[in-house]
Structure 1
Amino acid sequence: MDVVTPRTTLGWLADSRTSSICSARLCSRHRLQPTSLHFVPPLSRQTRTSIMQHAIQLLASGWEFKQCGSDGDEQEGASQWLPVEQVPSEVHADLMQHRKIPDPFADLNELAVRWVADKNWKYRVRFESPEVGGSAGVTVDLVFEGLDTFATVRLNGRVILESDNMFIEHRINVTDLLLAPGSSNTLEIAFEPARRRGLESITAHPEHDFIVHQTEVSRGAVRKAQYTWGWDWGPILLTCGPWKPIRLETWCSRIGHIKVDYHVDTDGDSPVVNITAICAQVFGLTARVEADLWSTKGGHVMNFKGDLAADVATGSRPSQTYTSSGARLENVNLWWPRGYGTQTLYQVRLQIIAADGSTVLTTAYRSLGFRKVELVQEKDHFGQSFYFRINNVDIFSGGSCWIPADSITSRITPERYRDWLELLANGQQNMVRVWGGGIYEADDFYAACDELGIMVWQDFMFACASYPTHPEFLESVETEARQAVRRLRCHPSLVLWCGNNEDYQLIERYGLEYRFGQDKSPDSWLKSTFPARYIYEHLLPRVVSEETNGVVYHPGSPWGDGTTTTLKVDPNVGDIHQWNVWHGDMKPYQNLPSMGGRFVSEFGMEGYPHLETIHKFVTKSSERYPGSTTMDFHNKAVGHERRLFAYVSENYRLKGDLPSFTHLTQVMQADAVSLAFKSWRRQWGTPGARRCGGVLVWQLNDCWPTVSWAVVDYFLVKKPAYYSIKRALAPVAVGVTRKFHDWTTRRADKLWRRDTGHVDPTEALREVEFDAWVANSSLEALKGRLVVRFVSTESGQDILASLIKEVNIQPNGCTEVTVNHRIAVEGSGQFSEHFVIHASLEIGGERVSSDTSWPEPIKYLDLTNRGVRVKLIKPGVVEVTAEKPTKGFVFSEKQGVNVSDNGFDLIPGDKPTRVWIQGIDAGGLQWTFVGQ
């Protein structure tokens, strides 16, 4: 076991964390996530025997585990106890540690470990009872921050807890159950299979129609991370175990949850924060509670004191809420999203002072930032807006959806969280959506978002199912929701709570009852065929309202105004998931610019990870080809065999070897997401005409090594799509697109208005129209010079005079430079050469952005003999140039190697592309491009 030595800063756990990544034991070492953090300075010798300060003892080491019988009891001939390296942990990680199962992430091993989920498992640890000396009124609690999922806990043979919700923290008073001080106690946790218990619950509740998408039906009845049943990007890996820290707390007085209510006034010359209350739930003996507010730079801001001496006099041990008086703070540094200002953080410290006036019984801290958040949903000539306004400034939200970073969640370290979020921030992204089929992430995740200025769209943990609403389920959900909201509410980065992911889409598909405008009685919703409406439109918004200071709540994603929640989404109201590219109608991705909405919270395109990652999960060289058994097994998307090959072959000259096909999928993915981001960002428009308020790609990350929509793979190796998003979301970015002529679909003859019965692959040559614009997220107007060139793909020469325009770039919006600009055809009726349209923007004589539009499909072009050169400028820096337009130049990346840019196009006569490289000698780089 480990005894925590208290300190007085939030970094007090840092020494006991590991920095290993992707090893067999990626545990979040000693990471505490209680409702509030507790730590105190050392006791003086004089007070040590008179009153007990708050002490925490982590039960992290000394654990062992074994397989049990179906009833959870040990049986003759049962497996032996095996040591557990450290808790938090999960059974799959511990079995791998002892080589009892293969790595489920490699080859087809996921199938070989399925049996683990159907067995009962038991964990146990022995620990000494704490010494409490002569202290009066001492309480000893066992705190379980999270047990996955159906767990029976015994202390010295006595059942003290039965848990059935992975997301709930439990605090058990064991003062009278511990053996004498210094004696050894035995703590045992028996875990039952989640799938079996889920099926039993379905049988027990025949009144409800359990509908789930993506997975086997049992998950809808279980409050467990839904993706562990498998998803269209992740394996079936039904985990169990003590997935969060377990600790022993000894206290006479402690502080529970903390809440800071405030209002930000930005109408004057400088921000003013009116703090209406600092609230803390206090337990045990108290004499006085003090609250202090400190800036992140160490400056003291204010102090509150409350006298609760009467509680000590009566010897009572109450649970009461202490509320401070209000305060007005002038000239406050506000918290801003990345790119719009600083991320100033403050720290609230609460202390309980003993009756002697000097002994600090316990101290709790909360980090917070002050900001004003609004979700602007106003009627306009497009429909109804949907965008965020922070501190009275309209913010375009560009970012990614987030799934858990590992299928074995206890392996995600604080360092790994930080790496992921720094990667997102460095990619010019300012929002992350925590998807509802995963977990409420660790405090480290949100703390990093606070510090990096990343706005968090936080789903509650419901996804793609019709969930039950029997009383026990609702009680569990409310406890889960309150704990999650209380834990996360001080984070300034969290700007929205969302009820679920895609649950409303079941309404139309299965004919469920949903009378939004007529039925306004929550009790009647419980009796309908869509009872979970009660959760999303009554229970959860009530919790958010009661527990937060006006944080925005949104019933579901996608969701409009109650009438646009089903599969026929109205793009003019609410947020949408745009899956008619890849899924649904499987439209060409070139249609994405016209397929946006008021806020696109999901869309995506699949792409392979880099070859080194593929080689890690495909260990047999004979399986390393597109469409092999292993490659298909690691792509969980339904119909991916047809969809991915179709999208690639429609656009590029298909090659069958793995390196070539990998590259083409990456370039195609990058083209698709880049086109969407730049085109929908263009629709940010101007104040009062915000047609699109944000774009979130599905998805940033993977939970295992796989083929998916992720723009960065499991090992944090970036795909070219990551860089294309970075370029599209640059603070000032130029965009250029030409009119799309679909060469895959029959078109009506324009003269006779009838179906010709044929496609016309030459139309893109004969009719060339393009648009050019500049997006600016800064809050100041700029002046720039836009140069548009027309460069032959065959010769590399300019075939037309450049279009040059001086541009007055408006702040925080999009400036249209040219719309439907038509290129006149020659007398022959068509150009003799294909050409790219290349736009570059200069501000103050310096190039700030460029973009290229290619004639499509790329497969019609001869892109051999490009004259590409990669020149070493100095150690760690290379320049890349080409004699002819070059499509999709990609360095082959690997774990531990970072490049500043990748997946870019090269235009002759343009400024050389300079790339900074870390983690490998430039001579070791490998690269390719389309047509090589």
Structure 2
Amino acid sequence: MTHLDLQDGWTLTATAGDLPAHLADRLRSGLRVRVPGTSHTHLLDAGLLEDPYVDDHELRLAWMKRVDWAYERELVLDPPAHDERVDLVLEGVDTVGTVLLDGEVVLRTRNMHRSYRVDVRDRVRPTTQRLRVELASALTYAEAEAQRLGPRPLAYPQPFNTIRKMACSFGWDWGPDLQTAGLWRPVRVERWRVARLAGVRPLVTVEPDGTGVVEVHVDVERSGLPGGEVPLVVHATVAGAEAVARVDPTGTSAVVRLEVAHAPLWWPVGHGAQPLHALAVELRAADVAAPAAVRGTGPVLGAWTRRIGFRTVELDTSPDDQGTAFTLRVNGRPVFVKGANWIPDDHLLTRLTRARLARRLDQAVGAHLNLLRVWGGGIYESEDFYELCDERGLLVWQDFLLACAAYPEEQPLRDEIEAEAREHVARLTPHPSLVLWNGGNENLWGHEDWGWKDELDGRTWGRAYALEVLPAVVAELDPTRPYAANSPTSPGFAPEDVHPNDPDHGTHHQWEVWNRVDYSAYRDEVPRFCSEFGFQGPPTWATLRRAVRAEDGELASKEHPTFLLHQKADDGNGKLDRGMAPHLGVPADFVDWHWAAQLNQARAIRFAVEHYRSWWPTTAGAVVWQLNDCWPVTSWAAVDGDERPKPLWYAMRAAFAERLVTVQPRDGRDALVVVNDTPTLWKGVARLERQRLDGTVLSAADLPLTVGAWSVGTFGLPEALRSPEAPAGEALVVTLDHARTVHTWVEDVELDLHPQPLSAAVAPTQDGFQVDVVAHSLAKDVTLLVDHLDPDARVDDALVTLPAGARARFRVRTSAPIDPQDLLRVPVLRTANDVVVPVVRRAVAAR
């Protein structure tokens, strides 16, 4: 087999639509471009667009939604031999495409999430040919389909549910409305003879005796030309094991079974190592005179290699006294899922690189996550993504791509959804990180709870996808992995019988917090598994300063239209203010407001995570919305669109730590909860002190305790430590080995916090500075917002609460020529104290 990559030599032309006057001539005459790419990235590369992520530029690009485009290039191919196939392969067309060779249509595409292969052997000419890909407006097509099929309810105004395109292309409450069009994955010509490997699908299991088993399901496409009907041999090797299977002269499939004795197990991060083994598959013509067990001796017709890992995965959804479980087991061990939801890391997908994905996944592991949920409004991610997760032990929960809408079950949509599902289920089987297939996001919930039934008036809405089509695809192609009908879902129940978002059954989304109630309400329920919960906060200061500016180029205020363009949530700023008011107050100064909003986001999620973890094994997982952003925006993300960690990232790292100490209510009283997410016993003596904020110890006790591996222990507090004499002036400090928690009985707005609780000093280091702080009064959430001084600066820790007398050291990495003393001043060195106290004083003054 030979490949001709078609990266270069393309011309992109706008063929229809209202174009800006200053671009019209250039776009109609054509741009020289390389693929993969899309309309937006090509115009950016040519210097014809302003960065759509900056300021109000998103609005200025609305014209691109209604433009039709055409890619065209010369194609010079040698005439095929009498026995040679010539295929045109397009790995990703975004989205409504017509492919022509010398003016003749060879393919029509309607699905961004599929790849395409066309036999063009009979169309190859001994002259220069023209390959053309015409792309119609996805929005225009989707609107026409919505009109044809009848209205279906959805979360946003544009009909993303009638076209197989990344749903968030049409805008989301954290993402821009930039509807790309292009050849977003590679294009090539493949020439081959006799037969080719059309698909390789390894199903990996582990026997009770530790034998690793790989059943390699191989699909073969025959050329249909002279010499094509010959016996074939499939040869596979992995980890020292080797096996072959014969394919008869008319056969198109085979199964090769490999067994590896005492296979080293692949584990999630935190539970063990991640050994990976190269699985290699070759297709050759068979030697008809050789025994059946002998590999073919002819030329290699096809070769395929991936790395696999040996592990088992099960999903326990058994009923119990609390409802219905949703517990993931890897290699037989129940795993508390410490997760985050994943969206495409750049809205302009062709800019994503393996290096960028590696940085993001390293941040996930750095925050002690062990799972990412690939959310159903995005894409099936690249091989790079899943390979990097395999290497890091990051489990992957993969949604099928249906989100927040009623999806018609009529054709052609039904066949398109099944086709894309079949392609990606088969493609992703090698990856040990992939542990769950999920039928979509909030579609079952929406049907039951969001007024859809009246609006649908009997029309189809996607029930068949969640409950019939997609589980059948998984059962056929990947029976080694579990399937869930939706997120949220109540396993084993029809959605009309038990509410899909019932916290007692299966998975649960908690959005009353953020939308309507205070984050303290997280404790009102003990879900079996919370697969979405989140709280907003603005991006880092440096990201705002770069990308969210007013007309004069200065940073936009939170009421400015540009800021609000980068705040997509309905009443987002109002919810931020109402969310922080009971805890921190609402600062009037924008710099203080920014810090308070980020801090409140971090606290809300830490509050929720500690609550959920404290209830293991009843609660079996917490998946935060969300890890990452796709552009600069106020959102629920822990890492902003410029790749900078927000305070939330540090809060997640602390809340998801392997060993955690937290004070939680139990039976109307505070209790000490100790979480041990490690393979070893945690035995020690907890030191408990009820202190005044100045450090004066009012009561103390030592509490010997033991918590088993992968377990949670709950311990009652001594009477003298459970209740304060003066709630506004006291705190409970608990220390166990290197873990510490500080518990107060009232919110910060009611505490007598000292406005300047720290003494600090700075010293240079080889790669920046170290900042040493000591608290002379309770200092809450000590943080260095170093990006105020240098956009590239990083700090090793944040949100460190120090009781009086405690010390902390922060290491700042920077190469910028900054004044070291600036590290010790606002707006860089911050605490909750310095933002809360002015709010309290203003309230007192107002009275």
With normalisation by structure 1, the TM-score equals: 0.81
Match for residue 147 of structure 2 among 183, 197, 203: 203
Asked if residue 533 in structure 1 is aligned to residue 463 in structure 2, the reply is: yes
Worse-superposed segment, 868-877 or 855-864: 868-877
Relative to 1, partners in 2 of residues 1:921 and 1:349: Cα closer, same or farther, differing over 3 Å?
Answer: farther
Count of aligned positions: 798
> Is contact 1:62-1:84 (8 Å) kept?
yes
Q: Give the partner amino acid of 1:293.
A: T
Q: Deviations over 1:7-41 (max 9, x none)?
A: xxxxxxxxxxxxxxxxxxxxxxxxxxxxxxxxxxx
For structure 2, the 5+ residue unaligned runs are 288-296, 835-847
Q: Deviations over 1:141-179 (max 9, x none)?
A: 111111111011111211111111111111011112122
Match for residue 521 of structure 2 among 580, 591, 601: 591
Worse-superposed segment, 495-504 or 345-354: 345-354
Could you say which residue in structure 2 is the equivalent of 1:852?
Answer: 742
What is the deviation of 1:853?
2.0
Could you say which residue in structure 2 is the equivalent of 1:627?
Answer: 559
Could you say which residue in structure 1 is the equivalent of 2:44?
Answer: 96
CA distance, structure 1, for counterparts of residue 817 and residue 677 of structure 2 = 36
Q: SS of the counterpart of 1:868?
A: strand
Could you say which residue in structure 1 is the equivalent of 2:645?
Answer: 718
Could you say which residue in structure 1 is the equivalent of 2:241?
Answer: 302
Could you say which residue in structure 2 is the equivalent of 1:394?
Answer: 334
Could you say which residue in structure 2 is the equivalent of 1:366?
Answer: 306
What is the deviation of 1:820?
8.8
CA distance, structure 2, for counterparts of residue 595 and residue 550 of structure 1 = 33
Q: Give the partner amino acid of 2:167.
A: Q
Q: How does 1:778-793 map to 2 (within 5 A)?
A: 778-793=678-693
Q: Deviations over 1:282-307 (max 9, x none)?
A: 53446543433334xxxxx1111234
CA distance, structure 2, for counterparts of residue 885 and residue 567 of structure 1 = 45
For structure 1, the 5+ residue unaligned runs are 1-53, 296-300, 312-317, 515-525, 685-689, 741-767
Could you say which residue in structure 1 is the equivalent of 2:843?
Answer: none
What is the deviation of 1:216?
1.7
CA distance, structure 1, for counterparts of residue 812 and residue 756 of structure 2 = 26
> Is contact 2:318-2:325 (8 Å) kept?
yes
CA distance, structure 1, for counterparts of residue 680 and residue 654 of structure 2 = 20
CA distance, structure 2, for counterparts of residue 447 and residue 282 of structure 1 = 27
With normalisation by structure 2, the TM-score equals: 0.89
CA distance, structure 1, for counterparts of residue 792 and residue 713 of structure 2 = 39
CA distance, structure 1, for counterparts of residue 690 and residue 222 of structure 2 = 73
Q: SS of the counterpart of 2:159?
A: helix
Relative to 1, partners in 2 of residues 1:352 and 1:807: Cα closer, same or farther, differing over 3 Å?
Answer: same
Q: Deviations over 1:348-404 (max 9, x none)?
A: 211123468253233111221111111111222211211100001010001100111
> Is contact 2:670-2:722 (8 Å) kept?
no
Q: Give the partner amino acid of 1:188.
A: R
> Is contact 1:788-1:802 (8 Å) kept?
yes
Asked if residue 641 in structure 1 is aligned to residue 573 in structure 2, the reply is: yes
> Is contact 1:626-1:656 (8 Å) kept?
no
Could you say which residue in structure 1 is the equivalent of 2:801?
Answer: 905
Q: How does 1:505-904 map to 2 (within 5 A)?
A: 505-509=445-449, 528-561=458-491, 562-563=493-494, 569-583=501-515, 586-620=516-550, 621-684=553-616, 690-737=617-664, 770-793=670-693, 796-818=694-716, 823=721, 830-831=725-726, 834-842=729-737, 847=738, 849-861=739-751, 862-872=753-763, 874-876=765-767, 877-894=770-787, 896-904=792-800
Worse-superposed segment, 63-72 or 416-425: 63-72
Relative to 1, partners in 2 of residues 1:647 and 1:512: Cα closer, same or farther, differing over 3 Å?
Answer: closer
What is the deviation of 1:675?
0.9
Q: SS of the counterpart of 1:651?
A: coil
> Is contact 1:737-1:853 (8 Å) kept?
no
What is the deviation of 1:128?
2.3
Relative to 1, partners in 2 of residues 1:463 and 1:344: Cα closer, same or farther, differing over 3 Å?
Answer: same
Relative to 1, partners in 2 of residues 1:782 and 1:70: Cα closer, same or farther, differing over 3 Å?
Answer: closer
Q: Deviations over 1:778-825 (max 9, x none)?
A: 1232212212233323xx223323232111111111011226966476
Could you say which residue in structure 2 is the equivalent of 1:159?
Answer: 105
What is the deviation of 1:408?
1.1
Q: Give the partner amino acid of 2:620.
A: G
Asked if residue 440 in structure 1 is aligned to residue 377 in structure 2, the reply is: no
Q: SS of the counterpart of 1:407?
A: coil
CA distance, structure 2, for counterparts of residue 776 and residue 661 of structure 1 = 36
Could you say which residue in structure 1 is the equivalent of 2:829?
Answer: 927
What is the deviation of 1:909?
2.7
Q: Give the partner amino acid of 2:131.
A: L
Q: SS of the counterpart of 2:596?
A: helix
Higher-helix-fraction structure: 2
Q: Deviations over 1:742-782 (max 9, x none)?
A: xxxxxxxxxxxxxxxxxxxxxxxxxx953211111112322
What is the deviation of 1:639?
1.4
Match for residue 223 of structure 1 among 164, 167, 182: 164
What is the deviation of 1:726?
0.9
CA distance, structure 1, for counterparts of residue 301 and residue 537 of structure 2 = 55
Relative to 1, partners in 2 of residues 1:85 and 1:802: Cα closer, same or farther, differing over 3 Å?
Answer: farther
Q: SS of the counterpart of 2:514?
A: coil
Relative to 1, partners in 2 of residues 1:68 and 1:411: Cα closer, same or farther, differing over 3 Å?
Answer: same
Could you say which residue in structure 2 is the equivalent of 1:32?
Answer: none
> Is contact 2:795-2:810 (8 Å) kept?
no
What is the deviation of 1:416?
1.0
Q: How does 1:82-231 map to 2 (within 5 A)?
A: 82-130=30-78, 136-180=82-126, 183-206=127-150, 209-213=151-155, 215-231=156-172
Relative to 1, partners in 2 of residues 1:739 and 1:778: Cα closer, same or farther, differing over 3 Å?
Answer: closer
What is the deviation of 1:920?
5.8
Q: Give the partner amino acid of 1:88.
A: P
Relative to 1, partners in 2 of residues 1:320 and 1:470: Cα closer, same or farther, differing over 3 Å?
Answer: same
What is the deviation of 1:217?
4.0
Q: SS of the counterpart of 1:802?
A: strand
Q: SS of the counterpart of 1:655?
A: coil
Alignment RMSD, CA only?
2.7
CA distance, structure 2, for counterparts of residue 511 and residue 377 of structure 1 = 29
Asked if residue 272 in structure 1 is aligned to residue 211 in structure 2, the reply is: yes
Worse-superposed segment, 461-470 or 888-897: 888-897
> Is contact 2:490-2:499 (8 Å) kept?
no
Asked if residue 455 in structure 1 is aligned to residue 395 in structure 2, the reply is: yes
Q: How does 1:461-500 map to 2 (within 5 A)?
A: 461-500=401-440
> Is contact 1:62-1:83 (8 Å) kept?
no
Q: SS of the counterpart of 1:477?
A: helix
Q: Deviations over 1:823-850 (max 9, x none)?
A: 4768xxx4285122222211xxxx2x22
> Is contact 1:337-1:453 (8 Å) kept?
yes
Identical pairs, percent: 27
> Is contact 1:564-1:570 (8 Å) kept?
no
Could you say which residue in structure 2 is the equivalent of 1:329?
Answer: 260
CA distance, structure 2, for counterparts of residue 71 and residue 303 of structure 1 = 60
Q: Deviations over 1:321-370 (max 9, x none)?
A: 1222x343211011110111111112221112346825323311122111
Q: Deviations over 1:833-883 (max 9, x none)?
A: 5122222211xxxx2x22222343212333312123144384354433322
What is the deviation of 1:623?
4.9
Match for residue 10 of structure 2 among 40, 57, 63: 63
Relative to 1, partners in 2 of residues 1:879 and 1:354: Cα closer, same or farther, differing over 3 Å?
Answer: farther
> Is contact 1:635-1:708 (8 Å) kept?
yes
Q: Give the partner amino acid of 2:115.
A: E
What is the deviation of 1:927?
2.5
